[in-house]
Structure 1
């Protein structure tokens, strides 16, 4: 059983990496499953045993990055840091793939990916907001609005970050993001 689990994990990792690499080369909408399979060296039947298509693969990739980040939540004691747990790990994930992409890669597929990332992040962040005492300190701000604010600001920072030359580190981009949103969260927490 363990051997099967490790093979499945390895196959999924290859598929996730393949898609991430292709996203830096062409538009997400232009990517076809056949290219993902060729890049990952995975059989079509194996792919469809795990995913319905490239959309499910992309969402699985996003959720995997967020799940790994969420596993580290126990290391964070500050409620604001716990709410923004996703930012640095997502930026580091992007940074890893940027380092593997050619310097002049067009990054055409990123806008479509950001729309999917936004949807998944808003759902998770809103659920996190509803579970935190933060909402008692900010009763005038609906949880869905605060989640949208935090996530869209994050995506603005990601877009800014990716267009800078030279590209700052993921840590620097995360510092910029937190400088934009953390003071608002901290001020309302004390109110």
Structure 2
């Protein structure tokens, strides 16, 4: 019981947990929205470069996490259009962005599976009854595909909370996630036998 008492008596121990949850929720909100849009575009629309978009979405999942982290360092260590003229390396925002990029494919793939089973006639029927595209998308398509979207988002959440390889390259003291804190505690031999030193 002493270990549990120390856990609740040491407020700074909860800081990495809070950081992980905040950054993961931010990333999952992004993958939820962009996953739906990207998946709908890939499955229900025809355009030039569709296969290229599909490959680009899957690349962060196919590459090792350390490669993704290194590429983010190279991409955001100087001001750019994508970072709105800011340097993101060394800031709080680099890790939520990393989690977003890394786990977007999970939501896209799970949503693709549901959308591919959705008959186009459902959308056409709603539009024939006078519904605009956005209303149809919001009131017909999204409720049907929601289980697939939520399952992908939940999987992304679980993966992002414990993500270590990308985090170890990009974290700062201000946004230290739980995976890094666990490593730090192990390095100091804090394995539950003594007070945790933050």
Same fold (TM over 0.5): no
- Max Rg structure: 2
Q: TM-score, normalized by length of structure 1?
A: 0.29
Higher RCO, 1 vs 2 (CA within 8 Å, ≥6 residues apart) = 2
